[in-house]
Amino acid sequence: MTPAEEIAFLSAEIRRHDRLYYEADAPEIDDAAYDGLMRRLRTLEAAHPELASPDSPTRRVSGAAAEGFRKSRHLAPMLSLDNAFGPADFTEFTASIRRFLRLGEEEALDFVAEPKIDGLSVNLLYEGGRFVKGATRGDGAEGEDVTENLLTLADLPRDLPGEVPERIEIRGEVFMDRADFAAFRAQQQKAAEEREARRERGEKLGPAVPVPVNPRNAAAGSLRQLDPQVTAQRPLRLFAYAMGAASAVPVDTHWQWLEWLSAKGFRVNPLSARVTDPEAFQARIAAERPALAYEIDGVVYKLDRLDWQARLGFVGRAPRWAIAWKFPAERATTTLRRIEIQVGRTGALTPRAVMDPVAVGGVTVTHATLHNEDEVSRLDVREGDRVTIQRAGDVIPQVVEALPPLHGARAAPWVPPATCPACGAHAARVNGEVVRRCTGGLTCPAQATERLKHFVSRRAMDIEGLGEERILLLHDKGWLGAPADIFRLPAREAELRTLEGWGELSIRNLFRAIAARRTVPLERFLFALGIRRIGEQNAKLLARHYGTVERWRAAMLAARTVGSEAREELGGIAGIGPAIATEVVEFIAEPHNLRALDDLLGFVAPEPAQVAAGGTFAGKALVFTGTLETMSRAEAEAKAEAAGGRIAKSVSARTDFVVVGADAGSKAAKAAALGVAVLTEGEFLQRLAT
């Protein structure tokens, strides 16, 4: 079992035992066995924080079945930050800002630096100066409404004095100090031990007491308590550091914003500073880090001028105007037990190190990625070796070095498998790729189930109630092969009811979740298909470009011909390019995939892509060529997109406007030949202004 599988399995088992204990009053296992399941789940989640789901039994209030929180949509999305790992990354960051804004070297870039605390971010909504709602980040668009719990924080001002915009979102980090965490953890540990002693005396007890692994985990668990009185007893703190949506912006720079927050009663990290020499600041904070009251994993640098921030905007999920410069990853050494192979949804075979448990960066780790077989040879890592691993932030730990065992001889070099461990099909590296792939395609059970897992996942179709364990089971039964089969499950209600742990309520909830997904935004649908290299960002590009699933499908079929206009158009979409175009076309050219897609479209009606409503260029395709005078190409493209347009790199009959700068070459000529409208920079800006 992979850790993901084991986590899903354990979570389902624990939930089943909870039901048996609390609802049916008919426990099947004793407390020790129950605690064993919990312990194992907690260990796995600690080693793989990226796999720990927010509704895991380990994060739940003891005794109550987690019914969860109300969802709360943020007025402005809560984004993440790109990372820098050294001065070179930071230099590239500032250079890209200069390029985008077309600033000369003589123009100073002022940054505000703030320590990056490892807690959880929250969105605080104030209306008329009064705190009305608070939510966790969630998926960035909507989180969980934890208003009642936030109200128990002493650091949270309920009313803001003086003049305040009518409506304003304030963002900050909820965290626990190191010392508070240590005391809290000791207290939980003691409670867990006492409970154990009572259990030994034969008492019937509820679920185990959760013992948090790190301050972040403790803060998140404490804020997500269903009972605010429990949160009130937890030593949670809050630093404010960012603005979300606001009906008016009371300041011109980020620094003034921090001052404004302070004046309104928020706590702002006192180490925040306006800096001219980030490298020196980074070194200073790194030196102070061990003595700080809380854990930090880097420093966030934000461009001070808000007008520049606004011009720079976002790319993907991160702003162009801020970066998190992380401290070097923490390292630890342990013994490599074996190298195992994971099969991904596109058949990629990924070697993974299974190691003796080791603490690194605040969590215990038992698995690390080895990326691919070239990496295994490069490191010459062998079973039984001592391995150094590193872990930075939330990324998956990786092996960085291998040393021979202290005693005894080294094992033979690792040999990549010639066949897929899941289906036995031939596994090969083709076209000089670094990745070895299972050739079993749709017949490989691992690929099929990985695809299904991806299809239902939160960022894809977001079908709740179809976790890994259930997918594996239904796949085994032969009821779930392709995504469309999910929509056929309601026809199997009687059979599902015969399965252990599938109560009437959970089946009804599952059917409701499935029915709700018969319409989804086109970009989600395209992402859910699991086409290689079509992540969320590229799915969005395709959705915006083609608008409807029918147009997309027809265009992909036409694009199978190399050199066709449809193929040129696909490869010409800014951000897609010829290599990704080939992946999409190969997907569609595979008859199984086309059949699976059409089968799915019998159930799901993807909603046409949203174009910025009422934008000057809503739904229009633009191509930029030549050198612009007043702004960089990147900024012009971002402006066109903000006005609803989509950017293409090459001119075709489907192009609506070609914007020409100085020295425009063949694209301008092609536009003329095809009769596409040509705009000068001035005309472009004029249209934007209207």
Burial class of 408 by CB neighbour count within 10 A (0 to 12, 13 to 18, 19+): exposed
Q: How far apart are CB 146 and ligand IVH at their closest, in Å?
A: 15
For every residue of 663-682, which 3-state class applies, written as one string? CCCHHHHHHHHHCCEEEEHH
Contact 537, 568 (CB under 8 A): no
How many residues make contact with ligand IVH (CB under 6 A)?
15
Q: How far apart are CB 116 and ligand IVH at their closest, in Å?
A: 4
Cα separation of the two ends of the chain:
59
Tell me whether residue 256 or residue 350 sits nearer to ligand IVH (CB atom): 256
Tell me whether residue 170 or residue 379 sits nearer to ligand IVH (CB atom): 170
The 199-218 contact track toward ligand IVH, x by CB under 6 A, reads --------------------
Q: How far apart are CB 512 and ligand IVH at their closest, in Å?
A: 31
Region of 31-39, 48-56, 115-123, 355-363 interacting with ligand IVH (CB under 6 A): 115-123
Q: How far apart are CB 625 and ligand IVH at their closest, in Å?
A: 32
Q: Say whether residue 81 binds ligand IVH (CB under 6 A).
A: yes
Q: Say whether residue 137 binds ligand IVH (CB under 6 A).
A: yes
Tell me whether residue 300 or residue 631 sits nearer to ligand IVH (CB atom): 300
Region of 21-29, 150-158, 319-327, 444-452 interacting with ligand IVH (CB under 6 A): 319-327
Task: Name 288's Cβ contacts closer than 8 Å, sequence gap at least 6.
Answer: 271
The 162-201 contact track toward ligand IVH, x by CB under 6 A, reads -----------x----------------------------
Q: Say whether residue 319 binds ligand IVH (CB under 6 A).
A: yes
Rule CB under 6 A: choose which of 241, 281, 308, 617 binds ligand IVH: 241
Contact 294, 349 (CB under 8 A): no
Distance, in Å, from the CA atom of 563 to the CA atom of 346, rounded to the nearest integer, reads 26
What residues form DSSP beta bridges with 648?
A: 573, 623
Q: Say whether residue 117 binds ligand IVH (CB under 6 A).
A: yes
Task: Name 523's Cβ contacts closer than 8 Å, sequence gap at least 6.
Answer: 536, 539, 540, 542, 543, 544, 609
**Please, which of residues 247-306 interact with ligand IVH by CB under 6 A?**
300
Q: How far apart are CB 303 and ligand IVH at their closest, in Å?
A: 11
Angle CA 494–500–503, to nearest 5: 60
Tell me whether residue 41 or residue 117 sits nearer to ligand IVH (CB atom): 117
Question: Token pair for residue 337?
Answer: 């037990």
What residues form DSSP beta bridges with 144?
A: 71
Distance, in Å, from the CA atom of 627 to the CA atom of 30, rounded to the nearest integer, reads 73
Provide the residue count of the chain.
690
For every residue of 619-632, which 3-state class applies, written as one string? CCEEEEECECCCCC
Question: Token pair for residue 100?
Answer: 């985008």
The residue whose two tokens read 């854990």 is 295
Rule CB under 6 A: choose which of 56, 72, 121, 655 binds ligand IVH: 121
Q: How far apart are CB 573 and ligand IVH at their closest, in Å?
A: 26
Rule CB under 6 A: choose which of 12, 29, 61, 79 binds ligand IVH: 79
Nearest in space to 80 (alpha carbons), one of 427, 395, 474, 291 = 395
Distance, in Å, from the CA atom of 414 to the CA atom of 340, rounded to the nearest integer, reads 11
Active-site position among 116, 264, 326, 639 = 116
Q: Say whether residue 116 binds ligand IVH (CB under 6 A).
A: yes
Q: Say whether residue 242 binds ligand IVH (CB under 6 A).
A: yes
Active site residue 116: yes
Residues that bind ligand IVH in the complex, under the rule CB under 6 A: 79-81, 114, 116-117, 121, 137, 173, 241-242, 300, 319, 322, 324
Q: Which of the residues are catalytic?
A: 116
